[in-house]
């Protein structure tokens, strides 16, 4: 049994868009720049200190549970 090859699939293929939309290039570029910025800025990163109220709350909870002295 032979398959019939029609010209309809070839004609449909000619109508396909061959150009990429603008966002198909813009999104990878924007994400690459964002990740590069994050990596470049991490050299100056410091550990964030907890607010004093949070430290006091944790100390109170530790005393309440009996973990801290």
**Helices (H), ranges, the chain:** 8-14, 22-41, 52-65
The per-residue pLDDT for range 24-66, each reduced to its tens digit, is 989 999 999 998 888 877 666 676 666 677 778 888 888 888 8
Question: What pLDDT shows up at residue 27?
Answer: 93
Q: From CA 6, how far away is CA 53, in angstroms rounded? A: 76
Task: Please report the sign of the dihedral spanned by the C-alpha atoms of residue 24, residue 26, residue 27, residue 32.
Answer: positive
Confidence (pLDDT) at 67: 73
Q: What is the pLDDT of residue 26?
A: 92
Looking at residue 28, what is its pLDDT?
93
- Ordered by start, the domain boundaries in the chain are 21-67
**pTM, whole model, 2 decimals?**
0.39
Sequence-separated contacts (24+) of 51-59 with Cβ below 8 Å: none
- Label residue 6 by pLDDT band (50, 70, 90): low
């Amino acid at each position: 049994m032979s398959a019939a090859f029609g010209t309809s699939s070839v004609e449909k293929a000619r109508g396909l868009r061959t150009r990429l939309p603008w966002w198909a290039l813009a999104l990878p570029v924007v994400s690459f720049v964002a990740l590069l910025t994050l990596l470049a800025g991490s050299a100056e990163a410091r550990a964030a200190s907890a607010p004093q109220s949070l430290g006091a709350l944790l100390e109170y909870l530790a005393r309440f549970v009996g973990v801290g002295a």
